[in-house]
Amino acid sequence: MKDPIDIIAGLGVVPVIAIERASDAVPLADALLEGGLPVAEITFRTEAAADVLAAMRDARPELCIGAGTILDKANLARAVASGARFGLAPGYDPDIVDAAKAANLPFCPGIMTPSDLTLAAARGVRLAKFFPAGVAGGPKALSGISAPFAHLGIRFIPTGGVTEATIGDWLAIRQVVAVGGTWIAKTEDIRDGRFAEIAKNAKAAVKVAQEALEKRQ
């Protein structure tokens, strides 16, 4: 099975999704696949998250599923049990980093400052979520924050405030693996069954991301 981080890096964009009903899991998976985006970060912001992951795992194994907003070890365990192939968090918690490593789950903790990154790097983190990316200063801020750590080979997934229009700016930074996109599959669009719109958003995001990745080769 292909490494999930390699899949994400090849796509350049990850849809960040808060979904309220497990019954919407398969239609959502189908919309993402139709849009050429075979990856999903299901955030543990709703009670349905674990059930959504399990439903996607069972019905659409070709979709690379991961868990977001992992704030405690209990949800980390639930995510792994439900089929998550990668995990992310908005902040850095060494206990969760250690637990993810023990579970053999590729994990991306959140950082926003050089101090955050110093602590994460000392724990062996080499893939970090830059969050909230827009509020924290955008691509220019990440370039400045990451510069002193470049020799360590740390890579990033900026999330929070990223838009389709700014994908190219983020992916111009070689240390950026992919961006996290909340606009691709919004909670209200899933709730209202607008899966055609989600497929359209996914297709557009992939197109822009692929163009940006080609430019930096």
The pLDDT tens digits for 139-176 are 999 999 999 999 999 999 999 999 999 999 999 999 99
For 138, residues 6+ apart whose C-beta sits below 8 A from its C-beta are 161, 166, 169
Catalytic residue (choose from 62, 129, 164, 188): 129
Catalytic residue (choose from 41, 164, 188, 197): 41
What's the pLDDT score for residue 3?
97
Tokens for 56, please give them: 């996607």
Cis peptide before 132 (omega within 30 of 0): yes
Q: How confident is the model at residue 208 (pLDDT cuts 50, 70, 90)?
A: very high
What's the pLDDT score for residue 92?
98
* 129 part of the active site: yes
What's the pLDDT score for residue 76?
98
Distance CA 30, CA 41 (A): 15
In a domain, 123, yes or no: yes
67-95 mean pLDDT: 98
For 66, residues 6+ apart whose C-beta sits below 8 A from its C-beta are 4, 14, 39, 40, 41, 42, 84, 85, 86, 87, 88
Angle at 43 between CA 37 and CA 45, to 5 degrees: 150
For 131, residues 6+ apart whose C-beta sits below 8 A from its C-beta are 90, 91, 110, 111, 112, 158, 159, 160
What's the pLDDT score for residue 216?
86
In a domain, 23, yes or no: yes
Domain count, the chain: 1
Q: How confident is the model at residue 1 (pLDDT cuts 50, 70, 90)?
A: confident
In a domain, 88, yes or no: yes
CB 195 within 8 A of CB 167: no
In a domain, 215, yes or no: no
65-80 mean pLDDT: 98
- Tokens 């998976």, located at residue: 29
Q: Percentage of the chain surpassing pLDDT 70?
A: 100
In a domain, 214, yes or no: no
Residue 53: pLDDT over 80: yes
In a domain, 106, yes or no: yes
What's the pLDDT score for residue 204?
98
* 41 part of the active site: yes
What are the C-alpha distances in Å from 173 to residues 99, 125, 213?
A: 30, 19, 10
CB 72 within 8 A of CB 53: no
Indicate the average pLDDT of the chain. Answer: 97
Torsions phi, psi for 92 (to 5 deg): -105, 120
In a domain, 189, yes or no: yes
In a domain, 51, yes or no: yes
What's the pLDDT score for residue 84?
98
What's the pLDDT score for residue 165?
97
72: domain CATH number?
A: 3.20.20.70
Q: Which amino acid is at 58?
A: D
Residue 50: pLDDT over 90: yes
Better pLDDT: 17 or 1: 17
pTM: 0.97
Q: Percentage of the chain surpassing pLDDT 90?
A: 99
What residue numbers bound the domain in which 66 lies? 4-209
Distance CA 20, CA 48 (A): 6
Residue 67's nearest CA partner among 3, 30, 14 is 14
The pLDDT tens digits for 97-131 are 999 999 999 999 999 999 999 999 999 999 999 99
What's the pLDDT score for residue 66?
98
CB 69 within 8 A of CB 89: yes
Burial class of residue 8 (count of CB atoms within 10 Å of its CB; 0-12, 13-18, 19+): buried
What's the pLDDT score for residue 81?
98
